[in-house]
Structure formats: structure tokens, C-alpha cells
Amino acid sequence: MREDRVEFANTLRGIAALVVTMTHLIGFWGSPADVARMINADVIVPPAEMPKALRFVGEKVSAAGLDLGSLGVGVFFVISGFVISLSLAKTSVVEFAVRRFFRLWPTYLTCFAIMLLSVYAIGWYFGKAFPFDEFSILVQLLPGVGDAFGVPYLDGVSWSLAIELKFYIFTALFAGLLPRADLKVFAVAVAVSLVPYLLWHLYPNRNDLGLFGIRLLWAFVFFGAFLPILMVGVAFQFHYARKIGDKTFCAVVAAMLSIFAAMNLLSDPAILAPRHVWTYIVAVAVFWVCYLLRDYFRPTLPTTFLANISYPLYAVHCYAGWCFMRMLAVFGLSQNSIVIFYIVVCFATAWLIHRVVERPSNLLGGELAKKLRLKLDYPTATGAAAA
């Protein structure tokens, strides 16, 4: 395998972050009352008209029956399945856990802090009390922990990071199946998805579980609803490594997508609306097309830049970006000017976080993982020498 062929996934990562950013940019103008409520601000009065370019994109995507945000997140999920299984095939579970922790948490914590400060500052300006209590903030310091306590996600994007974190745990638990491309990993994923789903819908006395038990079960149901999309990425990695053939690959992808669609469309309460389900399937198709054309992808300055800042951009752009735009509206800037400033500031902030937090923490995680590997290998090596 040539390393440059993974460039297609790297390019897609940056584009997906850009798509999600555009989604929330459109949402700022399209749902001003909801945005004001979420960021603790007053609604813009009089209502501001959405810039024509954003309206055009939103209308075209909606006319196609798609959801722009789900498209970006869906591509992210497939990329995660592809890349994470590739990483686990090359390293130990302990090294993987160390690297992933330092890859995810410091950057997330930085973006989370920026969001909290932004919401506090804009609430102070509009004379509103800070909307988040200490416990809600505490359990959201690591994405997904709040699920068991019924605490909603505070920033609009970390729900998907929680899905990814749970997927990391899933792949680490069944890491032994990945290097040899054992198809049992898909059967396990189906079980992890369907068992909570069936318990939720068929268990006659769900209230007997108690409030904590119900929340925990729903957290598994919610994760299981997206797990098949992540497993599609794993199937792509197996095929990419030439460990499964075309027919097996297509059968696995078809099975995962069928289970994904059935679980979401038949769930009560519904997790995803039909439009979102369809969009996730389109996201898989987009990844598939790029996968088939992977030999034509080469790193360029714009795509490499987008890929590098994709995670901090994804994590910081939503609520903090909305707060920034709302304050620009207070100062009377035009809609187009607000959009331009938003893009520049979001990109600059993401780049700064990448350079100051993400990149150093990744390097630190890599160094710690190497040292840990040497410590774990040392007893084996000395034992072999003694023998």
C-alpha cells in the first residue's frame, strides 16, 4: 500500500469540516430565534436576510432532499472507521488509546472552553444569566459522559465526537479482529447496535431500569444507530488493504447500510428523519466515489491546510462562531461582511489551536506511546535474551 493513496481521506476530512461549518453558517441566518436561545443572546431585530450565496446553497441542498450537516458528519464517520481501523492494525491497543486521548481531548477541551467563554460573554452583554450549571459543564469535559446523566450536549457538535469516542472504545475492545480483517467484527457491531435497540423497543417494563438505566440504555441505542456507518469505513479499510474481495466488500457495505436505515426509520422515538438517513447514505456514496478515484488525489496547499485544521475548526466554529457573528450584528455590519469575518476568524482560530494545542498534544501522545511500547517490550526482550 502506498501512503499517498490515503490522501483522498485526508482531503475529504477538510472538505467535511468545511461543509459542517457552512451548515451552521446557514443556520445562523435561517433559524435566528433558535440560535439566540442556544447562545444566550437576544434575537436579531429586525430580522436579517440570509446572504444570497448561502440561501442558494441551502435551497439547492434542501431541494435535493439532503441535509448539509448530515452530509459532512456522515463523511467524517466513514473516514473515522477507515482511519481508526487502519491505525489499530499497526499498533497495540494501549498505544492506540494513548494516541487517541491526546489527539482528541486537549483540542476538544480548548474549543469547549472557548465556547463557554463566548456564551458567558454574550450573555453578559445582553444581561442574561449563564445558562449552564457546574455539573453540566463537568460531565461534558469528556464527550459522552453526560449521556448517562441526561445532560444535553452544550456546544452543538460534541454529540458526534461522543459517537467517535465510543467507536474508539469499541474498536479497542475488538482490536484482535481488525489486523486479520475478521468479518466477525461486523457481526459484533450488529449485535452492539441491535441488542440495545431491541431492548428499548421490546422490553415490557423499561421503567424498572430506573432513570439512570433508561438513560444508559438510550445512550447505547443512540450510538448503535450510527455504528453501522462507522463500520462501513472499516469495510473500506479491509478492502483497501486487499484483505477482502469486491463481492464481500459490497455485501458488507449493503448490509451495514440496510441495518442503519432500518434502525433509524423504525425507531421510536425517531433518531434520524428520513431526509437525514438518506443523506448519510449519500455521504457513503461520496466517500466511495473518492475511494475509487484515490490514485488521483494529491496533497495541495489548500486541502492540506483544511485537513490540518479540520478537527479544531469542527469543534470551535458552532456556538463560538454564532456568538461572534451575533456581536458583529450588534455593531451594524452587513450580512456579507459578517460572513467574511466569520470565515476568517474561524479559520484563524482553528489554525492557532492546531499549532498551539493540537499539534503539540499529538506529538506528546506519540512520544508517550513510544515510551510505553518500549517499556512493554523490555520484559519480553530481556526474557528472550535470558532464554
- Considering the domain boundaries, does residue 382 fall inside one? no
pLDDT of 382 over the 50 cut: no
The three cell numbers locating residue 328: 458583529
Residues 6 or more apart whose CB falls under 8 angstroms from that of 97 comprise: 168, 172
- Considering the domain boundaries, does residue 76 fall inside one? yes
User: How many Cα neighbours within 13 Å face the side chain of 272?
Assistant: 27
The three cell numbers locating residue 161: 465526537
The alpha-carbon radius of gyration of the chain (Å, integer) is 22
pLDDT in tens, 230-241: 999 999 999 999
- Considering the domain boundaries, does residue 102 fall inside one? yes
The domain containing residue 150 runs over which residues?
A: 3-376
Number of domains in the chain: 1
- Considering the domain boundaries, does residue 381 fall inside one? no
pLDDT tier for residue 164 given thresholds of 50, 70 and 90: very high
What is the mean pLDDT of the segment spanning 220-227?
94
pLDDT of 364 over the 50 cut: yes
pLDDT tier for residue 333 given thresholds of 50, 70 and 90: very high
Mean pLDDT value across the chain: 90
First to last CA, the chain: 36
Say whether 129 sits in a helix, a strand or coil.
Answer: coil
pLDDT tier for residue 3 given thresholds of 50, 70 and 90: very low
Q: Give me the pLDDT at residue 384, please.
A: 43
pLDDT of 387 over the 50 cut: no
- Considering the domain boundaries, does residue 98 fall inside one? yes
DSSP 8-class letter at 228: H
Backbone angles phi, psi at 90, to 5 degrees: -110, -5
Positive or negative torsion for Cα 197, 203, 206, 210: negative
pLDDT tier for residue 375 given thresholds of 50, 70 and 90: low
pLDDT in tens, 85-139: 778 777 788 888 888 999 999 999 999 999 999 999 999 999 999 999 999 999 9
Weakest-pLDDT range from 25-39, 127-141, 199-213, 355-369: 199-213
CA–CA dist 23, 19 (Å, integer): 6
CA–CA dist 310, 359 (Å, integer): 12
- Considering the domain boundaries, does residue 28 fall inside one? yes
- Considering the domain boundaries, does residue 386 fall inside one? no
- Considering the domain boundaries, does residue 383 fall inside one? no
Do residues 176 and 246 make contact, with C-beta atoms less than 8 angstroms apart?
no
Q: Give me the pLDDT at residue 376, please.
A: 60
pLDDT of 71 over the 90 cut: yes
Weakest-pLDDT range from 51-65, 85-99, 107-121, 284-298: 85-99
